[in-house]
Structure 1
Amino acid sequence: MQLKRIRKEIKQSLDREKVTAMLKALGYEVDRNYKFKLREERTPSASIAKDGYIKDFGSGWGGDILALIHEHRGEPLPEATKWVAQCLGIRTDDD
């Protein structure tokens, strides 16, 4: 699997709706304003930008869906990359 090539394709393919769908598949509740709870908190403090970038204003963290899966869910980067690529219909060498 060529991670750099796949990550580049992923970044070019992301948008708010696609990231929302992946977050929902991971069990997050995303509201109609594209806000969700990344941590245990009373109100959602994370939001999704039009380009799919995620920002958590409560902790200051920001990144893409790959970073969220890797950093917040503890998934190894190659596995996170493959999962996101599959969600987006991007071929990996494993396909």
Structure 2
Amino acid sequence: MTVYVDDMNATFGRMKMCHMFADSTEELLRMADKIGVQRKWIQKAGTTREHFDICLSKRARAVGMGAVEISYPGDVAELMRKRKAAVPGVQP
């Protein structure tokens, strides 16, 4: 199982943000707990697009705890294709 963080670097107020994904909801929530992100901020919960939007300081903490760095949008699009392909009845 793996947690992923991309390099989106989008502006949200004064912060720069990116996405954090994982191979399972449990692993995503566990990493959110470890890096201090509240579970209530999960996005698209229960879908193939489930993720957290996290600031760059949280991204650095996640990487320090073993998260894999991926590129946006290319690697993220590939991850989403793989997730959709793994769900019966969902078009990739």
State TM-score, norm by structure 2: 0.31
Say which structure is richer in strand.
2
Structure with the bigger RCO (C-alpha within 8 Å, sep 6+) is: 2
State TM-score, norm by structure 1: 0.30
